[in-house]
């Protein structure tokens, strides 16, 4: 995939776009992983068999695991569970996050990932500015027809793909407004996970040490499905 294609996926995964668009990104990422020639994703996958674009797919899935919408989080969780966790593992959000962070840490250590890439695709900082000045062809082609990925969002939202505020009857009283970005998990958690992936000192900001401990346990036992059992054994 070209860099432009990866940036499009990154852009459409941002909270400014509606749930259907973000869910479509999850579907695209799933198909991209399924058609990848790389072997099953594990923390011991050989670096040479792990292309850079696959790292980007996983970084975007990590962001979408913390999406505001439950359906998007669930879809991302199913994709990660199917490709990272053992087949017998139960569908568990925390296990998916821990397994994915552990895998990305190994890719960072092997040189497949840079700190800039991790921050760019998990936090969306590099593409959010594109929403400030929507281009004419963001939603519509030259013939005036809606673009393929944003058909739904442009038909029912603003020209940048974001949801319009819903208003009531003739009085125009606002009943519901678009939710603030990232209600499910604060940006501080994603920032912490970025620092954890890039093995940066995390002591300067809010701490989420439970994730750090579980990631370390996964790296010790080599099986994300055993992380809870290992933690219990260590405590008791």
For residue 162, the SS3 value is coil
CA nearest 30: which of 4, 9, 3, 2?
9
Mean pLDDT lowest for which of 22-26, 70-74, 84-88, 163-167? 163-167
Question: What residue ranges do the domains of the chain occupy?
Answer: 3-129+185-235
**pLDDT band of 159, cuts 50, 70, 90:** very low
- Dihedrals phi, psi of 191, to nearest 5 degrees: -60, -40
Q: For 26-38, write each residue's pLDDT tens digit.
A: 999 999 888 877 6
- This prediction's pTM: 0.71
For residue 62, the SS3 value is helix
Q: For 72-94, write each residue's pLDDT tens digit.
A: 999 999 999 888 777 777 788 88
* Beta pairing partners, 140: 146
């Amino acid at each position: 995939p070209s860099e432009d294609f990866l940036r499009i996926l990154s852009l459409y995964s941002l909270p400014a776009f509606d749930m259907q668009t973000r869910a479509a990104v999850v579907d695209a990422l799933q198909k991209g992983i399924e058609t990848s020639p790389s072997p099953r994703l594990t923390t011991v996958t050989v670096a040479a068999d792990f292309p850079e674009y696959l790292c980007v797919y996983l970084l975007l899935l990590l962001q979408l695991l913390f999406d505001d919408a439950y359906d998007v989080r669930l879809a991302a969780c199913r994709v990660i569970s199917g490709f990272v966790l053992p087949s017998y593992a139960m569908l568990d959000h925390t296990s998916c996050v821990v397994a994915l962070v552990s895998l990305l840490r190994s890719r960072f250590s092997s040189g497949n990932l840079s700190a800039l890439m991790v921050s760019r695709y998990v936090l969306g900082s590099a593409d959010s500015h594109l929403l400030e000045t929507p281009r004419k062809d963001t939603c519509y082609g030259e013939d005036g027809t809606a673009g393929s990925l944003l058909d739904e969002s442009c038909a029912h939202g603003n020209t940048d793909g974001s949801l319009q505020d819903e208003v009531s009857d003739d009085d125009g009283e606002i009943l519901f407004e678009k939710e603030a970005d990232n209600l499910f998990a604060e940006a501080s958690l994603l920032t912490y996970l970025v620092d954890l992936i890039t093995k940066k000192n995390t002591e300067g900001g809010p701490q989420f040490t439970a994730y750090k401990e579980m990631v370390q346990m996964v790296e010790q036992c080599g099986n994300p499905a055993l992380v809870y059992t290992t933690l219990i054994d260590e405590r008791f």
